[in-house]
Amino acid sequence: MCFDYIIVGAGITGITAAEELANVLDKKVLLIDKREHIGGNCYDYLDDNGNLIHKYGPHVFHTDNTHVYNFLSLFTRWNNYSHKILFKYNDTLVPVPFNFISVDKALPEDSEEIKIALIEEYEINEKIPIRKLVQSENEHIKQLGNHIYEIFSEHFKKLYQIGDDELSEFVDKMFPFRMSYDCRYYNAMYQVEPLHGYSYMFKNMLSNPNITVVLNRDYNDLIRIDYENKRIFYEDEEFNGHLIFTGMIDEFFKYKYGELEYNSLILENEEINGKTFQDNSVIYYPNQYHLTRVTDYNYLSGNTLDTTVVQFEYPVKYDRNDKEQNIPYYPIDLKRNRQLYEKYKKLSDEFMNVTFVGRLAQYELLQMDECVEIVLDLINTKFSEI
């Protein structure tokens, strides 16, 4: 075996690491993934009609980090794309994060009083936490806060399959109210989609012959860990290089302290005749239906095809023993999970020959740009010294 690094997981984290190790540090890299494709949850593909579909749900690249944007620009050209989302609540479509337009749509009878109260109390362009609105002494602002809180509560309960008792932990994750008419979902400087899709960009990132990609293989079939002596074996031979692990940290430690919780999704695609199916790329349904959201892919890809693909997204609990729901999508950011993760983190710190990085290994809902940023930092620091 002649690899300097083995990377478990060919998502954006593992791919960025493989690319940089091979191209910048001239290392030999083995990249393993149990799925049949590269790209992890950012994977996309063209269907028979030329529609670009994001298999695991819609992904929009957004960042304020010019270094990250320039780095990925080496592997793709971009489409400018300003993402907007709408929540359909009690049959009204409302832009989220909430802003002045959302107030007009959601609470039309009281919107003038609410907006006057907001302008008297806060600065234009300020972002006001929902908690602050709910606690306001002004009755109009409080009314708005309670309304937004109700909508987001329904959303989080459904998405994460949590109960009322756990909701308080999510209040600070509710998008703050924006004192503006800006309906874009993200405020980031760069909001783009790769011109030919994420998979195309990833393929370019992995073109160095120093990178070997093995798909359809669970790392457990190839790698054995001697936990006591912190040694790693690849196909029964001791591996003296460095392991980069981007899979689930609890799986790495054989669930020694118990399982971290995730939500999972069931995604159903339907091809529709016509350029678009709905009034926006993504519409969420916090209360009416079992589904969380519907995505219309022609908006995301900028296609001008006569058909579009619509994706219906249903939330389910992650269960590693159930084929229908064994993909971990969102870590469930509850105190009990953070405490459990800290126990695994402590164990992982003892493995000097393993780096745990990425959404699953850090048990954090990292955005794509954050994954890239973390890896680029590691390349300049830790990995350049190994």
Ligand X SMILES: Cc1cc2nc3c(=O)[nH]c(=O)nc-3n(C[C@H](O)[C@H](O)[C@H](O)COP(=O)(O)OP(=O)(O)OC[C@H]3O[C@@H](n4cnc5c(N)ncnc54)[C@H](O)[C@@H]3O)c2cc1C
Pick from 4, 33, 296, 373: which binds ligand X (CB under 6 A)? Answer: 33
- Token couple for 217: 């293989």
Pick from 3, 4, 5, 14: which binds ligand X (CB under 6 A)? Answer: 14
Scored b (16 or more CB within 10 A) or e, 309-334 reads: bbbbbbbeebeeeeeebebbbbbbbe
| Residue range at the interface with ligand X (CB under 6 A); choices 119-127, 207-215, 331-339, 357-365 | 357-365
Those residues with Cβ within 8 angstroms of residue 92's Cβ, 6 or more apart along the chain or in another chain:
105, 106
Site for ligand X contains 10 (CB under 6 A): yes
| Residue range at the interface with ligand X (CB under 6 A); choices 149-157, 174-182, 345-353, 355-363 | 355-363
59/178 with CB nearer ligand X: 59
Pick from 21, 41, 71, 344: which binds ligand X (CB under 6 A)? Answer: 41
**Phi and psi based region of residue 92 (left: phi greater than 0; alpha: psi -120 to 50; beta: remaining):** beta
Q: CB atoms < 10 A from the CB of 119, how many?
A: 12
Residues 198-227 that bind ligand X (CB under 6 A): 218-220
Whether the bond between 176 and the residue before it is cis, its omega within 30 degrees of 0, is: no
Site for ligand X contains 145 (CB under 6 A): no
Residues 77-106 that bind ligand X (CB under 6 A): none
Distance of alpha carbon 323 from alpha carbon 356, whole angstroms: 26
Site for ligand X contains 331 (CB under 6 A): no
Site for ligand X contains 60 (CB under 6 A): yes
Site for ligand X contains 197 (CB under 6 A): no
Pick from 4, 7, 17, 40: which binds ligand X (CB under 6 A)? Answer: 40
Instruction: Work out the burial of residue 121: count CB atoms within 10 Å of its CB; fewer than 13 is exposed, 13-18 middle, 19 or more buried.
Output: middle
| Residue range at the interface with ligand X (CB under 6 A); choices 8-16, 188-196, 280-288, 295-303 | 8-16
CA dihedral 255, 259, 262, 267 (to 10 degrees): 70
Number of residues forming the site for ligand X (CB under 6 A): 33
Those residues with Cβ within 8 angstroms of residue 44's Cβ, 6 or more apart along the chain or in another chain:
52, 53, 54, 55, 59, 197, 198, 199
**Smallest distance from the beta carbon of 247 to ligand X, in angstroms?**
3
Pick from 5, 19, 21, 35: which binds ligand X (CB under 6 A)? Answer: 35
Tell me which H or E stretch contains 272. Answer: strand 262-273
**Binding residues vs ligand X (CB under 6 A):** 8-14, 32-35, 40-42, 56-57, 59-60, 218-220, 246-247, 329-330, 358-360, 366-369, 371
